[in-house]
Chain A
Amino acid sequence: MTGALRNPRTWIALICLLPLMRLIGLALTDGLGANPIEFITRSTGTWTLVSLLVTLAITPLRRLSGNAGLVRYRRMLGLFAFFYACLHGLTYFWLDQFFDVAAIARDILKRPFVTVGFAALVLLVPLALTSSRAMMRRLGRNWQRLHRLVYAIALLGVVHYLWLVKKDVTEPLVYGGVLAVLLALRLPWVVAGIERARRGSIPGRAGTHLPGRAE
């Protein structure tokens, strides 16, 4: 038990479950407001986007901090993004549309924001299915190629949000801005710059005790 508590994975998993716990708590205390289905849809959508962006932050953080171990938590964070995406989809299919297949199909075909949201959810499935270590080994170099889909998925997620708001696009643009920064940090020359800066500041001791280093 103490072993589990000392494992950061346990804590990360518990933190990732907080949004769900909060929803359950609010549901049990009549706290979801006048339109509970809308509340649940919004909330699960928000946390899908947040966990996607947190997952995408791991690699840049690893490069900036030189802490290679961070990558150990990426899979779990990605799976939580998938988990919230599934809850979001289920809320729509079940609570919002009541499994009305014709209405859902019409929505997907006719409503661009539903189209891109649905596409993002579908594209997440192969990533979740190939997230195990065994699949990683089996796919070899193709694994990374496949998992680059996550960039497109995050972009679709932001567009999905942008296209559904009635007028005030501030929040979707904030997510879009964060995503842009996370993607920019992956550009080859930015990566090279980060590497140079790290090596240059402390010669010979890459990645240790950088000033202002994020851990």
Chain B
Amino acid sequence: MLIRTPDDIPPSEITPPDVYRERRRFMQSLGGLALGAALGAPAAGAQSLPGVRRGAMTLDEAQTPYRDVTTYNNFYEFGTGKADPARYAGSLKTRPWTVAIEGAVKKPGVFDIDTLLKLAPLEERVYRMRCVEGWSMVIPWVGYPLNALIRQVEPTGNARYVEFHTLHDPAQMPGQRARVLDWPYVEGLRLDEAMHPLTLLAVGLYGEVLPRQNGAPVRLVVPWKYGFKSAKSIVRIRFVEKQPITAWMAAAPREYGFYSNVNPNVDHPRWSQARERRIGEFRKRDTLMFNGYGEQVASLYRGMDLKTYF
């Protein structure tokens, strides 16, 4: 597996964390919450995450501004508009929060979010994020590999798939009052996908605590799959034997498969997946196989017809 070290990338291509942190401090010193927001720095008041190992995984592509990452979201629990999550996620209570580990594991249990945060060292990983709708971002996540948690709970031989459940509480998530999807939102991975070192349990972005509209307090990030595979605001992780029916498979089985790997050669039935618009860029760019992570993950799908297993 290839994890790029910071030495691999031309320094001109990235904004070092120190620089953007410095920029942010400067903005905050101006006292400009609105000004800061307008320029794409994390808003004052965002809580910074301590002890994060910086640059654990970098990318020689420009990072999407904080403002775009936190105001242009698909999180139907708060409405189907892109601006809805940022507007309405304030009602989500991220403390107290627990994540139940169930199913085929030797050590099932309920993890408090603050325990979960300390389960493994937090690191910063810059990943591409490709939405099934044809746009993409580059996001500096903070978290740790999901496999750290999985090892701790010891899956049994019956655990072949992992299910992720998002919170279901229409009082906190007003979008759930409409039956756009069959709530709760369920996503799933094959166990080897869940164990893959790229699969991240994320608790922050841009060095800050994860904003609510991005799936606080804890979410999945699976960078080689379309964005909807990365379940947000997770309350339950279940280890199962049979392939789960995910929320999008149930909603439109012809359009969304279980795997949903980013694949420019397999179109969505209604639109092309060959190209994407990187947020902040004018012209579209070609979409990369496995979102550019083929070297690391292609072996997971050896011998599979990816047109059948879309």
Q: Interface with A: B105-113, B184-192, B199-207, B270-278, which one?
A: B270-278
B80–A34 CB distance below 8 A: no
A35–B82 CB distance below 8 A: yes
A163–B279 CB distance below 8 A: no
Shortest distance in angstroms between B49's beta carbon and chain A's nearest beta carbon? 24
Can you list, as one digit per residue, whether each of B211-255 has a CB less than 8 Å from chain A (1) or not (0)?
Answer: 000000000000000000000000000000000000000011000
Can you list, as one digit per residue, whether each of A99-136 has a CB less than 8 Å from chain B (1) or not (0)?
Answer: 00000001100111100000000000000000000000
Measured between beta carbons, the chain A residues less than 8 angstroms from B172 are: none
Q: Which 9 A-B pairs give the minimum distances between C-beta atoms?
A: A34-B72, A34-B68, A168-B80, A34-B279, A168-B180, A167-B180, A98-B283, A111-B271, A35-B135
With CB as the reference atom, state the residue of chain A lying closest to B180. Answer: A168
Q: Check: B116 CB closer than 8 A to any chain A CB.
A: no
Interface residue count on the B side (C-beta < 8 Å): 27
What is the bound-complex CA distance between A191 and B13, given in angstroms?
Answer: 67
Residues of A within 8 A of B (CB): 30, 33-35, 37-38, 95-96, 98, 106-107, 110-113, 163-164, 166-168, 170
SS class, residues of chain B in contact with chain A: loop
Cβ-Cβ contact count across A and B, 8 Å cutoff: 51
SS class, residues of chain A in contact with chain B: helix
Shortest distance in angstroms between A38's beta carbon and chain B's nearest beta carbon? 8
Contact of A37 among B82, B180, B277 (CB under 8 A): B277
A113–B270 CB distance below 8 A: yes
What is the bound-complex CA distance between A112 and B272, given in angstroms?
Answer: 12
B135–A111 CB distance below 8 A: no
Q: Check: B94 CB closer than 8 A to any chain A CB.
A: no
What is the bound-complex CA distance between A111 and B178, given in angstroms?
Answer: 28
Q: Check: B195 CB closer than 8 A to any chain A CB.
A: no
What is the bound-complex CA distance between A57 and B279, given in angstroms?
Answer: 39
Contact of B83 among A33, A95, A164 (CB under 8 A): A33
A34–B38 CB distance below 8 A: no
Q: Check: B98 CB closer than 8 A to any chain A CB.
A: no
Contact of A167 among B83, B181, B284 (CB under 8 A): B181
Measured between beta carbons, the chain B residues less than 8 angstroms from A168 are: 76, 80, 178, 180
Q: Check: B296 CB closer than 8 A to any chain A CB.
A: no
Measured between beta carbons, the chain B residues less than 8 angstroms from A107 are: 272
What is the bound-complex CA distance between A33 and B277, given in angstroms?
Answer: 14
